[in-house]
Structure 1
Amino acid sequence: MDDSELTDVLEDAGLSPYQAEAYVALLGLGTASATDIADSCDVPDPRIYDVLRDLESKGYIETFQQDSLTARARNPEVVLEDLRARSSKYLDAAETIEERWDQPAITDHEVSIVKRFETVINRASELIGEAEHQIQVGVNPEQFYAVESALRDAHDRGVNIKLSICTGPDERTPPIDEIEGSCTEARHREIPAPFFVLVDRTWTCFAPHSHSVNEYGVLVKDRTHTYIFHWFFLTCLWEIWETIHTERTPETPTTYVDLRHAVRDIEPLLNEGASIEAVVSGYVTETNEEVELRGRITGVEYTGSSMGRTEPVPLAQLAGRISATLETDDRTYEIGGWGAVLEEIEAVEVTIVDVRYE
Structure 2
Amino acid sequence: MVKRFDTVLEAARTFVRDADTQIHATLTRDQFDALRGDLADARDRGVTVNVTMLARDGDEPLDDAEYEGAVSVAHRLSRPAPFVLTSDLRRTAFAPNPAAVEDYGLILRNRSFTYVFFWHSLLFMWLPSRVVYEADAAGPKRYADIRQFLLENRERIRGDDPLHVEIEGRETDSDRSVTISGEVVDAEHLSEGDGDGDRAPTVMALTGTASMTVDDGETRWTVGGWGATYEDVEANRIRVTGVGAELGAEAAE
CA gap of 1:315–1:352, structure 2 versus 1, over 3 A, is farther
2:235 equivalent in structure 1: 347
Structure 1 distance, partners of 2:58, 2:108, is: 31
Larger Rg: 1
Residues 308/242 of structure 1: CA separation in 2 closer, same or farther (3 Å cut): closer
Does structure 2 retain, via aligned residues, the 8 Å contact 1:275–1:297? Answer: yes
| Equivalent position of 1:242 in the other structure | 130
Alignment of 1:56-75 (within 5 A): none
| 1:82-101 correspondence to structure 2 within 5 Å | none
Instruction: Name the SS for the 1:264 alignment partner.
Output: helix
CA distance, structure 1, for counterparts of residue 127 and residue 215 of structure 2 = 30
Q: What count of residue pairs does the alignment treat as equivalent?
A: 244
Aligned match of 1:276? 163
| Corresponding residue to 1:255 among 112, 136, 142 | 142
Mark the CA change 1:211 to 1:348 in structure 2 (over 3 Å): closer, same or farther: same
1:299 aligns with 2:186: yes
3-state SS of the aligned residue for 2:244?
Answer: strand
Task: Indicate the SS of the match to 2:23.
Answer: strand
In the alignment, the residues of structure 2 paired with residue 224 and residue 336 of structure 1 have an alpha-carbon distance, to the nearest angstrom, of 16
- What is the identity, as a one-letter code, of the residue corresponding to 1:356? G
Q: Distance in 2 between matches of 1:308 and 1:338?
A: 23
Counterpart in the other structure of 1:116: 4
Aligned to 1:331: 219
Higher relative contact order structure (alpha carbons within 8 Å, sequence separation ≥ 6):
2
Q: Does 1:213 align with 2:93?
A: no
The aligned amino acid for 1:139 is: L
Shift in Å, 1:236: 1.4
Correspondence for 1:285: 172
For residue 148 of structure 1, give the secondary structure of its aligned residue in structure 2: helix
**Over aligned residue pairs, what C-alpha RMSD do you find?**
1.9
Q: Would the aligned equivalents of 1:137 and 1:196 in 2 still touch at CA under 8 Å? A: yes
TM-fit CA distance, 1:276: 0.9
Identify the structure with the greater helix proportion: 1
What residue ranges of structure 1 are gaps of 5+ in the alignment?
1-112
- Match of residue 50 from structure 2: 162
TM-score under structure 1 normalisation?
0.65
Provide the residue aligned with 1:267 in structure 2: 154
Deviation at 1:253, TM superposition (A): 0.8
**Change over 3 Å in CA distance of 1:196–1:332 after alignment to 2:** same
Q: CA–CA distance in 1 between the matches of 2:106 and 2:28?
A: 18
CA drift of 1:310 comes to 6.0
Cα distance in 2, alignment partners of residues 307 and 212 from structure 1:
39
1:161 to 1:209, Cα distance in 2 relative to 1, 3 A: same
TM-score by length of 2: 0.90
Alignment deviations for residues 115-171 of structure 1 (CA, whole Å, 9 cap, x no partner) = 111000011111111111110011111111111111111112221100111022243
Alignment of 1:63-212 (within 5 A): 113-212=1-100
User: Deviations along 1:202-223, whole A, 9 cap, x unmatched?
Assistant: 0010001222222210011111
Q: For 2:116, give the aligned amino acid.
A: I
Distance in 2 (alpha carbons) for counterparts of 1:170 and 1:267: 38
